[in-house]
Structure 1
Amino acid sequence: MSVLPTALRSLTERIIESLLLITAVASIAIMILIFAYLIRESLPAIFEVGVLNLVLGEKWHSSGNIFGMRPLIVNTLLVAILALAINMSVGIPLAIYLAELSGPRTRAVLKPAVELLAGVPSIVYGFLGIIILVPYLGNTFDMLTGRSILAGAILLGVMFIPSITTICEDALRAVPNEFKEGSMALGATRWQTIRYVVLPAASSGITAAVLLNIGNIIGETMAVLLVVGNIARIPTPIYDVFDRGATFTSVIAGEMGEVAHGSLHYHALFAVGLMLLTIVSILSVIGDLARERIRRRFGGY
C-alpha cells in the first residue's frame, strides 16, 4: 500500500520539475524573441542613419528625419539619477525603521500603507503630478511651465519608494538575530549594530533593490510622459533640471501612435526601444554580479 503513494509522489515531483523547467526555458525564449524582433525592426534605421549617428546624434527631430539619441540618453540619465537619489534617501531609511526600530503597532500601520502606495497605478501618479507638482514647481521657481526634468524625477522618485522599501526591509529582516545579539553582547549600541552588522549583512538585498528600481525608473512611461515636457533636447547647461526634456519611454509613447508604419521614424523608435531594453538588461546583469560579489564578501542575505 505504501509503494503506490511513493510512486505517485515521485511522479508528481517530476511533473512539477518539468513544468518549472519549461517555464524557465520559455521565459528565456521570450526574451530572445523580443530582442530579435527589436533588432529586426531597428535595422533599417541603423543602416540608413548609422549606429554612431543614431546613438550619439545631438538632435531628435522626427519631422526632419533627424534621429539622434543623445538628448534622450542625457535626459533619461538626469531623471534616473535624481529620482534614484530621492528614492534611496527616503526608501532605505524607511526600511531600516520598519525592520529594526518601529514597534509592532507602528509597523502594523506603516507597512500596509507603504504596500498600498505600491498598488497605485502610474497614470494616477501622473495626474497628481500635473495637478499638484507641475503648478507648484512653476510658481515656486518662476518657470514658464512646471513640466521639467525635475518634475519627472520627483514624481518617479516618490512613485517607487514602496518597492525599494519593501525589498530592503525583507533583506534587513533576513539577517539572523544571532548577528544582532552577538553585536549587542559585545557592547555595541543599536545604531552601531545596524550600521556595522545589519547593513553589511543585508547589502546584497539592498543592492538588488536599488538596481531593480533603476530599471523601473528608466522603464516607466505614462507618469513621466505627462510631466517631463517631452521635448528632445539637451539642457543648457547640461545639469539644468528645470528645463523640459524627453526620455526613452516618453518619446516612444508620445510618437509611436502617430508614426507611419514602415517609415524611418517608425524604425528609429524601435531602435530607441532596443537601446532601452539593452540598458535595462545590462543593469540586471550588473546587479546580479554585484549582488553575488557582495554576498561572498559580507555573507549577505
Structure 2
Amino acid sequence: MDARRDNFPPPVPPRPPLLMSDVMSQHSIIGAPMNPYGIAYGYGPPYSGTPYSSATVYGNYGCGVAPMNSSFARLAEESSRGAFQSIEAVVTAVTSVANMLNSTQNAIYSSFRAVIGVVEQFSRLKSQLVSMVVALSVLRWLKRLWRTILVLLRFKPANYSAAELAWQDVTMASTGADWVDLHGAIGKSVNWPAMLFWLVALGGPYLIYKCLSRLVTSVEESRRWATGCDEHYDATALYDFNGQNERELSFCKGQTLRVAPKHQQPAVRGWLLASSKDGDRVGLVPVNYVEISGRKSVSPPLRSRGSLDGAYESALRSIF
C-alpha cells in the first residue's frame, strides 16, 4: 500500500473555475510575506485580485525558491485599497464643496464690484455735470455776485457762501484713500483657511502612517497560525505537489506543513489552506496529498520581533 502511495499519487481534487473568490476578501492577507525583503510568496499581479502567490515556488522539477519582489508594496496596496477609496471620496467631496464656496465667493465679489462700479459712474456723472456748470466763468461771476447781494441785503447770513461751499465739499465723491484715512485700515484677522490647509498637510501623512501601522498589525494577527503562534494543525506531505496556478502551495514529499484552523478554511471542497513550515508561503493544498498529524494550540514563534516587526516598521518609515 505504501509502495503504491509512493509511486502513484492520487488525482488532484477538481479545481473550481474561480478558486475561492470569497477568500480574496477574507484572506487577502495570506499572501503577505513574513519578511518584506525576503522570499516572495504574496499576491500575483497588483490588480489580478488573487490573494496567492503569482507562480509556484518549486518550478517544474522539484523544490525551488520564489523570485524576489516588493511583496510589502502589494500587501499595502491590496489591503488598504478600500480605505484609500474612502479617503479619495472624502477628498473629492471636500474639493467639490471648496469649489462651490469659491464660485460663490467669486459671484458675490463680482456683484459687489458691479454695484460699486455703478455708484462710481453716477458719482463721476455728477462731478462732470457740476464741473461743466462751474466751469463757465460767467455763471461763476453771476453766482458770486448774487451771493454778495444777498448778504448785503441781509437776506442771507455773512457766512452763507462758506456754508454752501462746505456743503459742496461734503457732497463730492470721496476716493478709497480718503475712506481709509477717515475710518482707518481694516484690522488683521486670523487666516483660518491657511491654518486648516497646513493642519491637513501635516496631519494627513501622520494619520496615514498610523493607519498603515494598524493594518500591518492586523495582518500579523491574522497570520499567526501560519507562523505557529496561534491554533493550527500540523500536516505531513505524502506526495510531491506542484501548484498549477498562483493560489496553490507547492511542496515536496515528507515536508511538514501548517494547516489553518477550521474557521479560516475556505469553502472549497477537497482543498485546505496551509502554509510552509517557516510560514513564508501560504496557499491551497489538496486534502488527499497531506496527512494531518495533530492539532497545536500555540507554539513558539519562528521569528523574533526584531527581524519581523522591525522589518515592517523600517519599510513603513522608508515610505514616509
- TM class by shorter-chain length? under 0.3
Pair member with larger Rg: 2
TM-score by length of 2: 0.25
Higher strand share: 2
Higher helix share: 1
TM-score by length of 1: 0.26
